[in-house]
Amino acid sequence: VYQPFLIELLPQAANEKDLRIRLTNRQHHLSTEPYELSWILCQEGKEVEDWTEYLPVIQPGESAEIAIHSRRWKNMKGNVQLRVSLRLKNPTLWAEKGYEIAWEQFTLKQADLSAKPLVAAKVEVNQDGNTLKAKVKQVEYVWDLTSGAILSAKAFGFEWIDQPQDLPAQPYFQAFRAPTDNDAGFGNWLAKDWRNHQMDAPQIKPEQVSYKTLENGCLQVFVKLVYQYAQGSILREIRYTLDGRGQLDVQEKYQPQGSLPVLPRLGVAWIFSPQAENLQWFGYGPHETYPDRKAGASIATWKSTVSEQLFPYPKPQESGNHEATQYLTLSTKQGRSLSVQAVDECFSFSALHYAATDLAAKKHHVELQARPQVICSIDAQQLGLGNSSCGPGVLEKYLVSKRQLHYRIILK
């Protein structure tokens, strides 16, 4: 992010009461005299405290330490963010009073994402041929015991799953994204590699689908699949646990094998009801973010709609990703809602009316046809964007790992 001030949070000594920042004036000619410094303290994305601090005169190229006089943050729990901002004191010929010149956000505390104990209860289980039905309270799931796919997910009679005939059975595995302009830049090597390796159309081989009822009455379903590409493969192992609250604990593990290209992502896509149009999440927003492209976004609670998530790039490509997500909620006009919560580690996600293959198949934005369903992609990792439209590719630290990778979510 290019801005005329560098704002850094300094380490806090044990005996210090105040937070401290270092403010560096990157300008060549102006001091800090035209500006004022303010901050906002947020808990779970909601503002709980704000203040305007004394801003000393800092000459061009110089730095100063400034105390942030907040007494509340130490006793706060959950997600706590501090946002520091510099704004114009007075109107100018080019901007109004209060125009923001620079800002930075710091995470002071993060919510505990560790798994909560399962709630014991008797889950009703019924196998009918190759179909497994499970019900607890007002929640029902149906699995295909041949493919391991989830055929139905109902809550209070409302069906959340909506399976199109032209997409894989869900939640379907994704190691492909619609190539971005950067993926297709400098010789088109990433996009070519994905196409040559058939990353968008693997051969799927189910190796195991089984289930058991635990001593506490919860149901566990195990699925083991191999995704075979032109060269190399990815082993996917899933453990579903349906507990007494009707919450579905989903643990996914991936093991890339053999000769594979740079991976664009590792995750799954769920296909939800067209009625699930309203979207809320806690993580980076409001615009799309990627592992190496998120400094201009803030961590907060954001609200949008699925229809608003696709950015109208002239050439359709990966769009609407959100990094460091702790939870997302899709809801209907009638107030029904489905939440996806991260366990242990945050995930990245997008919620669109388009599958990745839909975006990759078109050359112009105007050619796209929105699906009625919501394609909700949840990734353990997403490849960075890099700069290979006119420069170097993705840095190594933003590549998707080819080692064993796992993530865990709760659907409720």
Same domain, 100 and 133: no
**Distance between CA atoms of residues 13 and 331, nearest Å:** 44
Same domain, 102 and 202: no
pTM surpassing 0.85? yes
Same domain, 163 and 268: yes
Residues 267-282: pLDDT tens digits? 999 999 999 999 999 9
Q: Are 350 and 309 a contacting pair, CB within 8 Å?
A: yes
The pLDDT-based confidence of 399 (bands split at 50, 70, 90) is very high
In a domain, 103, yes or no: yes
Percent of the chain residues past pLDDT 70, beyond the cut: 98
Same domain, 132 and 84: no
Residues 320-347: pLDDT tens digits? 999 999 999 999 999 999 999 999 999 9
Residue 286: cis peptide before it, omega within 30 degrees of 0: yes
**Distance between CA atoms of residues 116 and 126, nearest Å:** 27
Residue among 39, 410, 55 nearest 241 (CA): 410
Same domain, 247 and 369: yes
Residues 351-364: pLDDT tens digits? 999 999 999 999 99
Same domain, 131 and 79: no
Residue 387, domain extent: 124-411
In a domain, 256, yes or no: yes
In a domain, 49, yes or no: yes
In a domain, 346, yes or no: yes
Of 74, 109, 144, the last residue of a domain is 109
Same domain, 300 and 187: yes
In a domain, 320, yes or no: yes
**Distance between CA atoms of residues 66 and 38, nearest Å:** 11
Of 55, 83, 109, the last residue of a domain is 109
In a domain, 114, yes or no: no
The per-residue pLDDT for 187 is 55
Residue range 297-310: average pLDDT?
98
Residues 196-245: pLDDT tens digits? 999 999 999 999 999 999 999 999 999 999 999 999 999 999 999 999 99
In a domain, 117, yes or no: no
Residues 40-84: pLDDT tens digits? 999 999 999 999 999 999 999 999 999 999 888 888 999 999 999
DSSP string, 283-306: EEESS--BTTB-TT-EEEEEEEEG
Token digits for 156?
Answer: 């209070």
Same domain, 69 and 138: no
Of 65, 85, 109, the last residue of a domain is 109
Same domain, 46 and 168: no
The per-residue pLDDT for 259 is 94
First CA to last CA across the chain, in angstroms? 37
Distances (CA, A) of 158 to 58, 162, 374: 60, 11, 15
In a domain, 115, yes or no: no
Structural domains counted in the chain = 2
CATH of residue 155's domain is 2.70.98.10
Same domain, 210 and 63: no
Same domain, 248 and 341: yes
The pLDDT-based confidence of 391 (bands split at 50, 70, 90) is low
The pLDDT-based confidence of 390 (bands split at 50, 70, 90) is low
Residues 11-42: pLDDT tens digits? 988 778 889 999 999 999 999 999 999 999 99
The per-residue pLDDT for 294 is 95
Higher per-residue pLDDT: 89 or 116: 89
Lowest mean pLDDT among 216-230, 370-384, 393-407: 393-407
CATH of residue 102's domain is 2.60.40.10
Contacts of residue 410, defined as CB under 8 A and 6 or more positions apart, other chains included, come to 247, 248, 249, 250, 339, 340, 341, 343
Same domain, 173 and 205: yes
Token digits for 392?
Answer: 């170097």
